[in-house]
Structure 1
Amino acid sequence: MGDRHLLALDLKAGETLLVSGATGNFGSATVLTALAMGARQVVTPGRNEAVLVDLKQRFGPRIIPVRLSGDGTQDIAAIDSATEGPIDAVLDFLPPSADASVARTAIMAVRPYGRAILMGGVGMLGGDDLSLIKGQWVYEPRAVHTMVGMVRSGQLDLNQFAVTEFALEEVNHAVSHAAANNGPFKLTVVRP
């Protein structure tokens, strides 16, 4: 989900996290995980009003939705005015097709000496580039144990996910279902 990225980001309880791309599959799962890890606030900028409303309804006052306009200066101001203090870290899940200016906007909202991880590949298709100083591929093995521990303790509520199961012999139906029913908090599972 997002645990491995949040561990790489060194997210600590009580910090404010901005999830760029929070309205997508990975981003919305990361919002859930960040809350379970003790984030004070999770800022969820985006343009999909319906998903922003859903995130706020699901998780309450710790979610800070910010409707993006596409104007970087205006969006940074909107993010700054929406939060109750500085943003400690940004985790970006925007796809390669997204304009790098959106990721740059999120990064510019972070406090001095804050942290940012670009996970989605924004800017990789050419055009406007983003320069990275430090990166990480995959995750440490401890991420799996941390995630399992959060599920077992009840900190991470997997009931947020709508799961549709298929038998192994129905794998083609499962693939079709996943393609047609993709979105935040929707999972398609194939069971042997």
Structure 2
Amino acid sequence: MKAAVVRQAGQDPVYGDFPEAVAAPGDSRITVTAAAISNVARSRASGAHYSSSGEFPLVAGIDGVGRLDDGRRVYFALPHPPYGSMAERTVAPSTQCLPVPDELDDVMAAAIANPGLSSWAAFTERARLKAGETVLVNGATGMAGQLAVQIAKHLGAGKVIATGRNADTLRALTGVGADVTIQLTGDGEALERSVMAQFAEGVDVVIDYLWGESAERLLIAASRTGAEAVPIRFVQVGSVSGLEITLPSAVLRASAIEMMGSGIGSIALDRLVSLTGEVLRAAASRGFRIAVDPIPLSEVGEAWSKSDSASRTVLTLDSKGA
């Protein structure tokens, strides 16, 4: 079958042939129609992600949309290695296959599921967001961050603060739920000054997609407001800006910050699957949307390195897998 094949760690996928996937008991075979290129998919394919199998060659992709042998349309997640979602067909545990609401087409469902899950899980399972609370999304101009703003409002946040580099996207976010926007300019001290006023007014939950310097500055600012100690649930979700931070120990002693992560491993897999179903149903009923760029699977080599800051790239397959 045709697939996006990664031959060795560190290599980009190429469009080529891969042995046909065979379903074992408890598995479902899926004829794939759409699979999104995400940061997690890139990282797992390179072998760098903490959940990577380390097995090569492999088919890239961690999730997608397709049809079971009986014709049912499903979203599926985490096919068995070395199979991935970017192939004509794949196999995944039947328990990790979910129905797709009729209101979502294949491309939009594939585009929204993973980035939407990142904040939905962080809000509901880790931060335990309560109605009326204030949320700060650090890195809100990426695909996952844009959905996080929409999802925060859907889940009842009273105020949403969005940070990001792209000024145009920040302005657009005011139309989908952002009450305050702060542009990340690279000036760490300016960021501290900008967010300190927000922390002084009260921030209950921070969802961080960036890590790196901006996360450092947010944490330092939260500890310097001089406000009465109110717990801030800081949930680390992504590391677009860096894998490590340097944090003075006094930041944690001088504040009521509760730090935690959200991802594969911090939440049980069966719960993550269930939460994805909630994301898809909410996307269908509330009209969550992000910009998507459908590209044929055969062009995976060109699409792989394309930035997804403006739109989510979704590889598509017709009935012949092209």
Q: TM-score, normalised by structure 2?
A: 0.47
Give the number of aligned pairs: 180
The equivalent residue for 1:118 is: 236
Query: How do 1:66-77 and structure 2 match up within 5 A?
Result: 66-67=182-183, 70-71=188-189, 74-77=193-196
**CA separation of 1:28/1:187 partners in 2, compared to 1, >3 Å: closer, same or farther?**
same
Does the alignment pair 1:5 with 2:122?
yes
5+ residue gaps in structure 1? none
Which digits, 9 at most, give the CA deviation of each residue in 1:103-134, with x for residues without a partner?
314644796123111233466446x2367875
The equivalent position to 1:171 in structure 2, one of 276, 294, 300, is: 300
- Tell me, yes or no, if the aligned pair for 1:15 and 1:39 is still in contact at 8 Å: yes
SS in 1 for 2:145: helix
Cα distance in 1 for residues equivalent to 2:140 and 2:309: 11
Q: How far apart are residue 18 of structure 1 and its match?
A: 0.7
User: What CA deviation, in whole Å up to 9, does each residue of 1:137-165 have, x standing for no partner?
Assistant: 4233334323423432545423x212222
Aligned residue number for residue 142 of structure 1: 271
The structure with the largest alpha-carbon Rg is: 2
Could you tell which deviates more after superposition, 14-23 or 117-126? Answer: 117-126
Answer whether contact 2:170 2:181 (CA < 8 A) is retained: yes
More helix by share: 1
Mapped pair 1:22 → 2:131: no
C-alpha separation in 2, matches of 1:166 and 1:18: 33
Quote the sequence identity (%): 28
Listed one character per residue, the Cα deviations across residues 39-91 of structure 1 (whole Å, up to 9, x for unaligned) are: 222111345432221211x315x53213466326522344247xxx5211111
CA distance in 2, matches of 1:130, 1:27: 27
- TM-score, normalised with respect to structure 1: 0.73
Q: Which residue of 2 aligns with 1:101?
A: 216
Indicate conservation of the 8 Å contact 1:151/1:157, yes or no.
no
Q: Kindly indicate whether the alpha-carbon contact (under 8 Å) linking 1:76 and 1:105 is maintained by their aligned counterparts in 2.
A: no
What is the RMSD computed on CA atoms of the aligned residues?
A: 3.2
Structure 2 unaligned residues grouped into runs of 5+ = 1-114, 253-257, 318-322
| Preserved contact between residue 19 and residue 42 of structure 1 (Cα < 8 Å) | yes
Partners of 2:193 and 2:221 within 8 A in 1: no
